[in-house]
Amino acid sequence: MSFQQKSRLAGLVGLVGFAIVWELASRLVGDYWVPGIAQVFARLFKDLVEGRLLVDVAATTQLLLAGTAIGTACGCALACLLRLSQRVDSLMQPLITALMSVPKLGLVPLLVLWFGTGWAPKVMLVALTVLFIVFSLTYSGLATVDPRLTMTARVLGASPLQLTRSIVIPSVLPFVFTGLQVALPWAVSAALVAEYLAAKAGVGHGIEQARQMSDSVGVYCGIVLATVLVLVCNAALAAVRRLTVKSPF
């Protein structure tokens, strides 16, 4: 058996081991602390059948998509804007560093204060979270756009628009995707926090509700759902990336 195969087998053994430890813990410390695996999945199944699961997942996903779209667009635009001028860029550096040192999730109270508990602050939170990550990665990515390519294109008479379309965008796209991949777990985190504090539906809302009723099975279900959400979105993102980005990055 090659090392690769052994490695994969070991990974599986690890997961199985984890499941075993979970079950044992459940037997040892009781249902309140660690409900059994069967219980959790039974509840998940029940929620699925009753429709509640899909409602929650749909709400959170909507939130994620909206926030991510806005955040990505703004982050990208901001990165491009700053990269236009070296002077503007170095001018803004400390401001950006200072803004980045405020945890975006710490802005929740402010957003709730300003926009209430509706849909807006939640989307804004996710958008802000995604914005800074995508901005940061696209910004450093733009620095690597081969200046010779742009120069050649300009010499050949390309207009700024053509330049953007044929050189800048293909070069930047990989970084935007990387930014998205990094931002994804954080976006989900942000969505969850937003839902804890101000929501009537969604995975986060479900977890918080379960906690308030001391329903550990519910809490575990929520965690599993959130994790699955992250994994699914990751896979989707990777697929989209494979289809759209043709460069060898």
Residue 168 and residue 144: Cα distance in Å, rounded? Answer: 10
Which parts of the chain are beta strand (E)? none
Task: Specify the stretch interacting with other proteins by CB under 8 A; choose among 7-15, 45-53, 142-150, 159-167.
Answer: 7-15
* Distance between CA atoms of residues 217 and 34, nearest Å: 8
Cα 193 from Cα 63, distance rounded (Å): 12
- List, as one string, the DSSP characters of 190-237: HHHHHHHHS-SSSHHHHHHHHHHTT-HHHHHHHHHHHHHHHHHHHHHH
**By the rule CB under 8 A, 144 interacts with other proteins:** no
CB of 30 to other proteins, least distance (A): 12
Span from 13-21, 64-72, 156-164, 237-245 in contact with other proteins (CB under 8 A): 13-21
Q: How far is the CB of 181 from other proteins (least distance, A)?
A: 12
Q: Binding to other proteins by residue 172, rule CB under 8 A?
A: no
Residue type, 15: L
| Of 98, 156, 161, 243, the one binding other proteins by CB under 8 A | 98
Distance from C-alpha of 49 to C-alpha of 51, rounded to nearest angstrom: 5
Q: How far is the CB of 219 from other proteins (least distance, A)?
A: 5
Mark the segment that binds other proteins (CB under 8 A) among 41-49, 62-70, 160-168, 228-236: 228-236
Distance in Å, CB of 208 to other proteins, minimum: 6
* DSSP-assigned letter for residue 119: S
Residue 57: burial class (beta carbons within 10 Å; 0-12, 13-18, 19+): buried
Q: Which of 64, 108, 124, 142 forms a contact with other proteins (CB under 8 A)?
A: 108
Task: Work out which of 62, 150, 196, 237 binds other proteins, going by CB under 8 A.
Answer: 196
Which region holds residue 103: left if phi is over 0, alpha if psi is between -120 and 50, else beta? Answer: beta
Q: CB 176 → other proteins: shortest distance, Å?
A: 14
Q: Which of 2, 214, 243, 246 binds other proteins (CB under 8 A)?
A: 214
Q: Which residue has the tokens 């914005």?
A: 131
CA atoms of 145 and 71, how far apart (whole Å): 22
Asked if 124 touches other proteins (CB under 8 A), the answer is no
Residue ranges that bind other proteins, judged by CB under 8 A:
3, 6-8, 10-15, 17-18, 33, 87, 90-95, 97-98, 100-110, 112-114, 129, 132-133, 135-136, 182, 185-186, 188-190, 192-193, 196-197, 203-204, 207-208, 210-211, 214, 216, 219-220, 222-223, 226-227, 230-231, 234
